[in-house]
Copies of this chain bind each other. A is one copy, B any other.
Amino acid sequence: MIDSTPDAYQKVVEHCRQTALLGSVSSVLGWDERTQMPVAASEHRAEQMTLLAGMIHQRSVDPQLGRWLEELENGHAAADSHSDRATNIRILKREYDKAARLPQALVEELTRTAVLGQHVWQKARETNDFELFRPTLEKTLELKRQEADALGYKKHRYDALLDQFEPFELTENVRTVLNDLRKELVPLVGAIAQSKRRAPIEILGRHFPAARQEAFGRAVAARAGFDFQRGRLDTTAHPFCSGLGPQDTRITTRYDERFFPSALFGILHEAGHGMYDQGLRNEAWGLPAGLPISLGIHESQSRLWENLVGRRRSFWQHFLPLAQQSFPESLSDVSLDEFHFAINDVRPSLIRVEADEATYNLHILIRFELELALLEGDLPVADLPAAWKARYREYLGIEPERDAEGPLQDIHWSFGAVGYFPTYSLGNLYASQFFDAAQAALGDVDAQFAAGDFVPLLGWLRENIHRPGQCYSASELVQRVTGKPLSSGPLLAHLRQKLGPLYDL
């Protein structure tokens, strides 16, 4: 009897790489749409994207692919379950089975509702009219329940949705870690709000010409290790990072001439995402072994560069003199201590995307707790605005007057992204835990940063976080790299260590 497995594996690889190739074409169209495309071209672009999406979907649920994968799964198990081959088979089979479990009618209804939902949400936010959005959100949640039931789960319905963004992660674990975080973070943020010391944020609101911000941001990103031979930086209204191919990673930002941190930390954030993509293995491109693990791990890389590196004193030992050369009229009279305090300003606010490093996680906690309650039917949608206010009051000490600055502020729920929010805080948690491990391995990182040397850190990230692709799940990777399971300890320790002295706590 001939063992046909090697042949089936080769066929699966070819099939999935070609699907990924089509996906990368779609990414080019998406990037172009958001950065270059003439306004009148959007209808035709939608036709192009729809055609490709259809082709990609068809390939993803191709029964022949299912048969090959089944044959492979039933074949000899690989000696090392973390090998590229074993990983590719395991993850592709899992994704194929998930896709196969979703009835076509439900997929179409979800897509229709998502498109419509975004329009309704936009209108509702503009007019501050939660009631307008309520029926759409109710319908979305009902469809998401059906989706979760079709996908299957062991304990929590939410598990099935979370898994779409953070594969293998479980509601119970996320709830425990975020609860631990909340217990310490709420008092810490409260103490900072009570502190008499205030960050000199006026510095950051001086005049910073956009062209010079771009040149400076480009230099910082390049020094951090973002490879411009394999990437670009452009301007958009809504910053993002997009992979258009294994050697083509493009980031964007926006410039506020009256608020320095917006573009610079935005660039570092997107460059962090970009360096992760640039650190994946080319030869595994298009297959799980060459793909990012999860949204949370992706976010850990952006947050690590934005916050743990970019808001660190030693980072600015190197870069503040250069910033002063770029913006002499605004920064020449600013000391390192003042600058460092200004960029680490912490204060409760209502808008998630403008929140600081510490309070940001409370914004996420609120959304996680509320969407969990909404999905499980414990919170009727009609009661969401009141519940939102109560949580903000409890965790941050403030509450929004308008729903537009409350439950209508984020786009996510409008297109059915339930289970997405926690990945932002998971990113922060992973980042701190990874950074501690990097420090333990690399010695005096502050001396390196002060000398403008980020090669050791990036090298460590490449080796430990980027190169494995999906050969480990997020929780396996955390355990493997840090020796411990995910916990709130490192992030809390990092915040206390930095903010304690600044706010004289």
In Å, the complex CA distance between A52 and B36 comes to 22
Q: What residues on B are CB-neighbors of A36 within 8 Å? A: 36, 232
Q: Is A245 an interface residue (CB 8 A)?
A: yes
- Minimum distance in angstroms from A106 CB to a CB of chain B: 26
Q: What residues on B are CB-neighbors of A24 within 8 Å? A: 44, 48
Contact of A45 among B18, B22, B32, B245 (CB under 8 A): B245
In Å, the complex CA distance between A52 and B51 comes to 13
Q: Is A230 an interface residue (CB 8 A)?
A: yes
In Å, the complex CA distance between A36 and B248 comes to 10
- Mask, A34-49, CB within 8 Å of B = 1, is 0011111101110110
- Mask, A220-240, CB within 8 Å of B = 1, is 000000011111100000000
Q: What residues on B are CB-neighbors of A227 within 8 Å? A: 40
Q: What residues on B are CB-neighbors of A22 within 8 Å? A: 51
In the bound complex, do residue A21 and residue B247 qualify as a contact, i.e. CB atoms below 8 Å apart?
A: no
In the bound complex, do residue A18 and residue B51 qualify as a contact, i.e. CB atoms below 8 Å apart?
A: yes
In the bound complex, do residue B48 and residue A228 qualify as a contact, i.e. CB atoms below 8 Å apart?
A: no
Count A-side interface residues using an 8 Å CB cutoff.
33
In Å, the complex CA distance between A51 and B14 comes to 12
Copies in the complex: 2
Q: What residues on B are CB-neighbors of A246 within 8 Å? A: 44
Q: With A28-B28, A29-B28 as given contacts, are A248 and B40 in contact (CB-CB < 8 Å)?
A: yes
* Shortest Cβ distance from A33 into B: residue: B28
Contact of A39 among B38, B229, B245 (CB under 8 A): B229
Q: Is A191 an interface residue (CB 8 A)?
A: no
Most buried by B among A32, A36, A52, A227: A36
In the bound complex, do residue A32 and residue B38 qualify as a contact, i.e. CB atoms below 8 Å apart?
A: no
- Minimum distance in angstroms from A52 CB to a CB of chain B: 7
In the bound complex, do residue A28 and residue B32 qualify as a contact, i.e. CB atoms below 8 Å apart?
A: yes
Contact of A38 among B38, B45, B232 (CB under 8 A): B232
Q: With A38-B229, A51-B18, A232-B36 as given contacts, are A247 and B44 in contact (CB-CB < 8 Å)?
A: yes
* Shortest Cβ distance from A55 into B: residue: B55
- Minimum distance in angstroms from A46 CB to a CB of chain B: 10
Q: What residues on B are CB-neighbors of A43 within 8 Å? A: 247
Q: Is A244 an interface residue (CB 8 A)?
A: yes
* Shortest Cβ distance from A285 into B: residue: B44
Q: What residues on B are CB-neighbors of A45 within 8 Å? A: 245, 248
Q: With A25-B29, A47-B21, A232-B36 as given contacts, are A248 and B52 in contact (CB-CB < 8 Å)?
A: no
Q: What residues on B are CB-neighbors of A245 within 8 Å? A: 41, 44-45, 48
Q: A40-B248, A41-B244, A44-B248 are known; give 16 further A-B pairs, CB within 8 A.
A: A18-B51, A21-B51, A24-B48, A25-B52, A28-B48, A32-B32, A36-B36, A36-B232, A37-B248, A38-B231, A39-B229, A40-B229, A40-B247, A44-B245, A44-B246, A45-B248
